[in-house]
Chains A and B, each alone.
Chain A
Amino acid sequence: MTAQKSPIIEIRNVSKRFGKVTAVDNVSLDILAGEFFVLLGPSGCGKTTLLRMIAGFEMPTEGQILIDGQDMAHVPPNRRPVNMVFQSYAVFPHMSVADNVAYGLKIAGVGRSEREERVREALELVKLGGFEDRMPDQMSGGQRQRVALARSLVMRPKVLLLDEPLSALDAKLRAQMQFELADLQDQVGITFVTVTHDQDEALSMACRIAVMNKGDVAQLATPSDLYEYPANRFVADFVGSVNLFEGKLTLDEPDKAAVDCPGVGKIYLNHGVTGPHGADVWVALRPEKIYLHVPGAGKAVQAAGQDAPEGHNFARGRITGMSYLGDITLFDITLDDGATIRVSRPNLSRHDQEDFEWNDRVSMHWRADSPVVLLS
């Protein structure tokens, strides 16, 4: 990615209230020129409101939005250098594909020959070459979305806004479009700002993701940082699946830390967490970072002992739930100490799923760099 460092959109202390409901609560963030930025969050978290404020369909109650250095406070949507792809695509049903794509160019006063050239180019770009004369009702949902994309891209906006662009597509097409959108963004070099509630979509497409919760930005980070270094329980839980354990910080030094989690055991980390000693904290542990072992052989204890002091980073329990998903198998394991823990295990060979059965006793361990300590 060739993300330049200068911000194209600056959101400064923006709040939006609808009556007594606060949809966006004092958000400040910069979106960099040329990046693929994703606003991720559950429904009602304010992400769509924020996007609509960038487009100009909603005005901030407080705060300021700058696009390319210009304050947008008094700029109506039809004069902003941004274009939007709507969740329903909003392709004009009474116009052909070519007329749809040419709509904005006609208004901008682009001459006929240049207009036709640019429409053709835009349609090529979204792989709809030759569809010029089709009417929208003769097209599939995926094709209509491409029309909406072409209609926006043909305007060469500084920023393209996409509101849940893939939510109406079926799973296969969605996966394909995730790649295509990322490719397209790379190709045209326009800044994309996408709103989604789908974490897979966000992780696969974004340069950076802002996770929103209750009108606030819970964390702004790259996809891998978001997943591996969540800042709080909300992000850890919303992005991917996670085991969260409550515990007390018993050791916190620059190069090591330990948390005593009732119901699970002692968890050791090979780095410091800079939390107050004895504080109540939460430990997040991803299911795929836990290794399962057949008990009795002492393998779990041995493996855990490689990077943690004795008695840390392993647990024993009984399989109380199993769900075979093809590529992986999910296990719910009730620990001897009472807690339930979820483990995912890749089915690396065709017989892997036969190793463990319902009600089997198992032991497990994890590496000292896997757990994440969360203070909030």
Chain B
Amino acid sequence: MAEQHWKENPKGFWAVSATPLLWTLLFFLVPMSFVWLYSFGSNVGLTEIEISGTLDNYKRATEWLYVSIFLKSLAVAALVTVICLVVGFPVAMALTFASEKWRPWLLLGIMLPFWTNLLIRTYALMMLLGTQGYANKTLGWLWDGASWLKVFFGMQPLPTWEPVQLLYNNFAVVLGLVYVHLPFMVLPLYSALDRLDKSLIEASLDLGAGHLRTLMKVVMPLAMPGVIAGVMITLIPALGAYLTPDLMGGTDSQMIANVIERQFKRANDWPFGAALSFVLIYAMFILIALQSLRKPRRGEAK
């Protein structure tokens, strides 16, 4: 069917779009504009906010304390995205080249976590990583084994195993975020790789290229749209992550969303929380704008 301009069939257009438009207006744009207005206000009572047009909240948001937390959030999100990309690419490749029989099951394995509540998934991971968790038990078992081996060969045994602190630090936050966001990276990568004509890979091999060169010169450039899409939908939610740093992080691993939450709840400073929120939103806008400015190269799967 040829593409139709909405003006050619306005009744049909409005019939289909009125509900989602109204929905977005009522439940997204209206509340967001309130928050936006609050960001220019100040607290005058316990529950009263006066919208005075002041820029004090934004001025405060640019204090180093908050900027540093913001930059740290960005660094954590970027690290999570890179790890997701490095781990996700081989997974997406494996999905693409899996046999017809296996692929649906592998895809199910990727999708399954989506059907489980984030809170439950996070607690499950925490149980695994705790000082009494399986990760530590396995490490301890390996440690004991190594110690036993040393004794076996007539050497001094290793000192007694001390459980490693795997939770409540930055490592735990990154691990948790990678765990949560990996499917977001794998799916767009898979969809880009799946569209790739497999004979391009064979042609590269046929012309003498090894697998690594084929990956770098043919597969990667052509999968770029999938990489960009995967990076965007991993980076943005990771930047605004709240639950994972809250539950798995330590005192020094709070991210910007945790700070915002504190303003709205414990500090009861809605105007400042609103200002911080909008700084975060503007940052995301910039990221999205940068991505759309990027000129798509020829030949990429659209």
Contacts and interface: CB of A to CB of B under 8 A. Distances in A.
Interface of A: 55, 57, 76-79, 82-84, 86-88, 90, 92-95, 103-104, 107-108, 135-137, 148, 151-152, 155
B299 A107 contact: no
B222 A90 contact: no
A155 B298 contact: no
Nearest to B218: A92
B151 to A, nearest CB: 46
A148 B203 CA distance: 9
Question: For the complex, would chain B's binding face be called helix, strand, loop or mixed by DSSP majority?
Answer: helix
B297 A94 contact: yes
A83 B203 CA distance: 9
B123 to A, nearest CB: 44
Nearest to A151: B207
Interface stretch (B139-147, B194-202, B253-261, B263-271): B194-202
Contacts of A135: 298-299
Interface in B192-233: 197, 199-200, 202-210, 213, 217-218, 221-222
Nearest to A107: B208
Given A135-B299, A136-B299, A84 B203 contact: yes
A83 B197 CA distance: 18
Given A88-B197, A93-B222, A107-B213, A77 B205 contact: yes
Contacts of B209: 78, 103-104, 107
A83 B205 contact: no
Nearest to B222: A94
Given A88-B197, A94-B297, A155 B203 contact: no
Which bucket holds chain B's interface residue count?
20 to 34
A90 B202 contact: yes
B205 to A, nearest CB: 5
A107 B214 CA distance: 11
Nearest to A87: B199
Interface of B: 197, 199-200, 202-210, 213, 217-218, 221-222, 297-300
Contacts of B210: 78
A88 B207 CA distance: 16
Contacts of B204: 92, 103
Contacts of B202: 55, 57, 77, 84, 86, 90
A55 B206 contact: yes
Contacts of A94: 221-222, 297-300
B297 to A, nearest CB: 6
Nearest to A148: B203
A103 B205 CA distance: 11
Contacts of B197: 88, 90
A137 B298 contact: yes
Contact of A92 (B200, B205, B206, B213): B200
B200 A90 contact: yes
Which 6 residue pairs spanning A and B have beta carbons closest together? A93-B299, A104-B207, A90-B203, A94-B299, A90-B199, A86-B199
7 contacts: A76-B205, A77-B205, A93-B200, A93-B298, A107-B207, A137-B299, A155-B207
